[in-house]
Amino acid sequence: DLGRQEFGPAPDSLADLATGIAGCRHCAIGCNGTRAVPGEGTRRRAFMIVGEQPGDIEEMEGRPFVGPAGEVLRSQLAAAGIDPGQGWLTNAVKHFKHQPTGKRRLHQTPTAGEIDTCRWWLDRERELVAPRLILALGASAARGLIGRTASVQRERGLLARQGDTDIWLTCHPSYLLRLDGAAREAEQTRFVADLRGFAAALA
Ligand code: URA
């Protein structure tokens, strides 16, 4: 389709892909002056974990999942026996959408249209990384992977099969950070249970 042609030739390496996302101006987020954050990790029949978009710290450091949500993710992956270094960490949207209020930049959720635009890059990344299993963290990640809005509450677990790749869905770790007390405990327990299910599928 036309939208796809506008992106030009597909990158043939992950380095090219990183250059491509850095220069991408196909949506308003790409035009906001922030730096794109490429995925990182191990490729080839391993696993991929997909978040929504880089946060404040990720944008500054240029690496995925190195801020507060990343800390939650990494500690819960450890609890489930998954070493993130053995897979590929990335995001559905490559730039940081935010409100530039005061000195802290406040996260803004990307629109379905922005996620769909950035899907061109995620698709190329999936071709280059060739994961066997993919874990979507939250609804934005799911949309980037399957092209429709999914409900974490109703569809968590095995979400879709695309060719020989299974897509799993759980909540985004920043959802846990927005809860307290018993609600947080309960959701954290479900999150680790989902990660354990994903680990079992990987084994
Ligand atoms: N949240 C995400 O979805 N991705 C990151 O890289 C960091 C926080």
* 143-179 per-position pLDDT tens digit: 999 999 999 999 999 999 999 999 999 999 999 999 9
Question: What amino acid is encoded at 11 in this protein?
Answer: P
Q: Domain ranges in the chain?
A: 2-202
Say yes or no to pLDDT of 186 above 70: yes
* Ligand 1: nearest atom to the Cα of 140: 3
For ligand 1, mutation pick of 29, 35, 37, 52 (most atoms within 8 Å of CB): 52
Q: Which long-range contacts (CB under 8 A, 24 or more apart) does 73-80 make?
A: 73/49, 73/137, 73/173, 76/173, 76/188, 76/191, 76/192, 76/195, 77/195, 79/192, 79/195, 80/192, 80/195, 80/196, 80/198, 80/199
* Chain Cα centroid distance, residue 42: 15
Distance 103 CA to ligand 1 centre (A): 20
51 lines ligand 1 (CB under 6 A): yes
55 lines ligand 1 (CB under 6 A): yes
Residue 102: what pLDDT? 74
84 lines ligand 1 (CB under 6 A): no
- pLDDT band for 2, please (50, 70, 90 cuts): very low
**In the chain, what percentage of residues exceed pLDDT 70?**
98
Q: Give dist(CA 120, CA 185) in Å, integer.
A: 36
Annotation: CATH topology of 2-202: Uracil-DNA Glycosylase, subunit E (3.40.470)
